[in-house]
Structure 1
């Protein structure tokens, strides 16, 4: 069975490597009618001081988008990027997916150990457990 995305997919990217890895894994599953929305969520501290200036974090998001777009430019899929803001990354991703009537949230899981997942809150695990739209974890492409 071949998986393809004919509609809109949300691709959350936390950093340039993450975005590029997901885009490379997504390319074979796109069609000319696919629409890919790459998002980066800037987490707001909810009253506490932010970790970095907004300008720095928006610049980082643009770096993420630049690297993530590269593999996708070889396809006919429509492509857009969006910086999202919220106090909960997973909730914000699903809110965007619903606002855009996305067919799925698509990502390539990062390699990591259980301790790192516990310390970082494991966004990937929450994406799967708290899904309000289909979530697809793509396998890594062989390079």
Structure 2
């Protein structure tokens, strides 16, 4: 990961991910937004791992069948691949399973010796964040490697 000053009369910053980044995506729209925001920061040496964590209930009843959630992950990967295929980066996808989404993301980052976890924050109201455990906030608070929240690409 590089943060460079690029000067051409005015001060600007350029962020480039030139190593391995883990990109969690919760749903197809989230994956697409994140891929769009990430694409311009990739280099030929970038390795992107798009992950979707299938949360297991840990002894309780799961919200949906594993096969339904794997199909959901396939939709996420298809939409992110469409955007990232125009870059020179290496792109992989992985379905992960675990009882704690944030813990599983950081375990994967460690297993792959990733340089950062990269995401775009999703809009949501405070009540929804409280009910879902606010994964974005936990990613930042419990970070074991750098976590980068990219602004959404509005172009």
Category of TM-score, reference length = shorter chain: over 0.9
Higher share of residues assigned strand: 2
Q: For each residue in 1:70-109, what CA deviation from the matched residue of structure 2 results, as whole angstroms up to 9, or x when unmatched?
A: 1101100000000000000000000000000000000000
Counterparts of residues 70-81 of structure 1 (less than 5 Å): 70-81=82-93
Unpaired runs of 5+ in structure 2?
A: 1-12
Residue aligning to 1:98: 110
Please report how far the alpha carbon of residue 20 of structure 1 lies from its aligned counterpart in structure 2 after TM superposition: 0.3
Q: Which runs of 5+ in 1 are unaligned?
A: none
> Are 2:17 and 1:20 equivalent residues in the alignment?
no
- SS of the counterpart of 2:103? helix
- Equivalent residue pairs, number: 143
TM-aligned CA deviation for residue 142 of structure 1: 2.0
Choose between structure 1 and 2 for higher RCO, CA contacts under 8 A separated by at least 6 residues: 1
Q: By percentage of residues, which structure has more helix?
A: 1
Partners of 1:95 and 1:62 lie apart in 2 by 21
Greater CA radius of gyration, 1 or 2? 2
CA–CA distance in 1 between the matches of 2:145 and 2:62?
30
Alignment of 1:122-141 (within 5 A): 122-141=134-153
- In structure 1, what is the equivalent of residue 50 of structure 2? 38
Work out the CA distance in 1 between the residues paired with 2:152 and 2:71: 27
